[in-house]
Amino acid sequence: MAAYKDAALKEAKKVLSFIEKPALTEDDKKMIVKESIENFNQNVNPGWLEYRKSMSTDNACVEWTDTEEHFTDLYGNDFIDCLGGFGIYTCGHRNPEILKYVKAQLDRYALHSQELVDPLRGYLAKLVAMITPGDLQYCFFTNGGAEAVEMALKLARLSTGGRYYISTVGAFHGKSYGAISMGGKAAYREDYLPMIQQVQHVAYGDADAMEAAIKNLHTVGEKVCGVILEPIQGEAGVIIPPAGYLKKVREICDKYGVAMILDEIQTGMGRTGTMWRCEAEGVTPDIMTYGKAFGGGIMPITGIIARPNMWGQKLIDNPWLLGSPTFGGSPLACSAAIATIGYMLENDIPQMCKEKGDYFMEKLNGLKAKYPTMLKDIRGAGLLICMDFPAAEVGYAVVKGLFSRHVMTSGTLVNAKAVRIEPPAVIKYETIDIVIEKLEESIIDAKKEFKL
């Protein structure tokens, strides 16, 4: 028997007892906090905890349970979630109307045989085609956002025969090799070069620059297969392109026979006030990615949908040509996504995002008018909102102040100049008022600290 067996078995049993227990003792809690820090430092990454705001208070905050608009730590402290897992929790945390179907599916079968017809995948594909614009029709399900982007990139080459991609400066599409090749930030690319060579980055929001890049490549004999864009750049700090930009890009793609890929992983599923951002812009892409909120904040599931003109005979003859992820579109994940679509339609989640986003923006603009040296800009669509501070340290101080007042937002020590607010759509109006009150207190503190 291997030497590690006894120790590892004992460790596993200890953790399983924590998972199973209805209530932890004070000693359990102390042990979990201490061991979690040790485990992260020794077996995840010694740098991981360093800059997180959840470590910046006296007691490291270890998440243990969640519900609706809250995370709760081991000690029962609630945190209002204004980060929303960067867009995962649009339907809230463990929404019971989604969870019950996932539990029911779990009691039947969780993963698929890989051989039989798994019905939920087909039903989900049909539903996605029903809720996406135009003639978007064929779906391929994956597990993570970057993986969905890989499929979109491969499909663009497969269907057009072109090789070059046009992406944008500031873009974020994930960190797998293909996806990061499209990424618009040097810090995440330079250590891995060379990556996909056939990609040119143009300024975001500039349709003329996009056309010039395609035209020049075609003039020298290089064929462009796809343009990839976020309809609003999320990670870059909620950058909303000029009105009509997506429509112009659509026209350019049609003119040059290039596939238009819209990455709706963050902007989709109601987040920006319509089910998809491209809907608000009156544009149908050739290929669209989705993820994050798609699994209802309960299961990871992502995917692509493409128009029939993208789905050529070669792919029909060999359905695994694009990819064959073992877990992609598992019954459990599909049950979550189907329940999410049902919940979103029944409760008009996109409209909820719009109304609550407008309410948030009005209050935030009030704070901006009151504290102009602190809040430099507020922008957003629906519940994808961003606040700009004069410097990263100032933003970090505000985020830390909010966290100590039990409001969670995004922003790390490394980057907090632009702080995103992406709460669940189900956030209550009273809770938004509390967030604004705590934000004002945190702004006042940081204003004093930095003498602004």
Partners of 409 in the β-ladder: none
**Dist. CA 62–CA 76, nearest whole Å:** 10
Residues 349, 90: contact at Cβ < 8 Å?
Answer: yes
- Segment (H or E) for 261: strand 259-263
Residue 382 or 401: the one with the smaller Cβ distance to ligand PLP is 382
Burial class (CB in 10 A: 0-12, 13-18, 19+), 386: buried
Contact region with ligand PLP (CB under 6 A), list: 42-50, 138-146, 197-205, 323-331: 138-146
Contact region with ligand PLP (CB under 6 A), list: 142-150, 329-337, 382-390, 424-432: 142-150
Residue 170 or 234: the one with the smaller Cβ distance to ligand PLP is 234
Residue 150 interacts with ligand PLP (CB under 6 A): yes or no: no
Site string for ligand PLP, 238-277 (x = CB under 6 A): -------------------------x-xx-----------
Most distant CA pair in the chain, distance? 70
DSSP assignment of 158-217: HHH---EEEEETT----SSHHHHHH---GGGTGGG-S--SSEEEE-TT-HHHHHHHHHHH
Residues 162-201 that bind ligand PLP (CB under 6 A): 172-174
Among 84, 145, 297, 395, binds ligand PLP (CB under 6 A): 145
Residues 311, 286: contact at Cβ < 8 Å?
Answer: no
Residues 95, 106: contact at Cβ < 8 Å?
Answer: no
Residue 149 interacts with ligand PLP (CB under 6 A): yes or no: yes
CB of 366 to ligand PLP, least distance (A): 29
Residue 226 interacts with ligand PLP (CB under 6 A): yes or no: no
The one-letter amino acid code at 61 reads C
Residues 78-97 that bind ligand PLP (CB under 6 A): 86
Residue number closest to ligand PLP, CB atom: 145
Residue 235 interacts with ligand PLP (CB under 6 A): yes or no: yes
| Residue 219 CB partners (closer than 8 Å, separation 6+) | none
Residue 431 interacts with ligand PLP (CB under 6 A): yes or no: no
CB of 187 to ligand PLP, least distance (A): 15
Residues that bind ligand PLP (CB under 6 A): 86, 144-146, 149, 172-174, 230, 234-235, 263, 265-266, 291
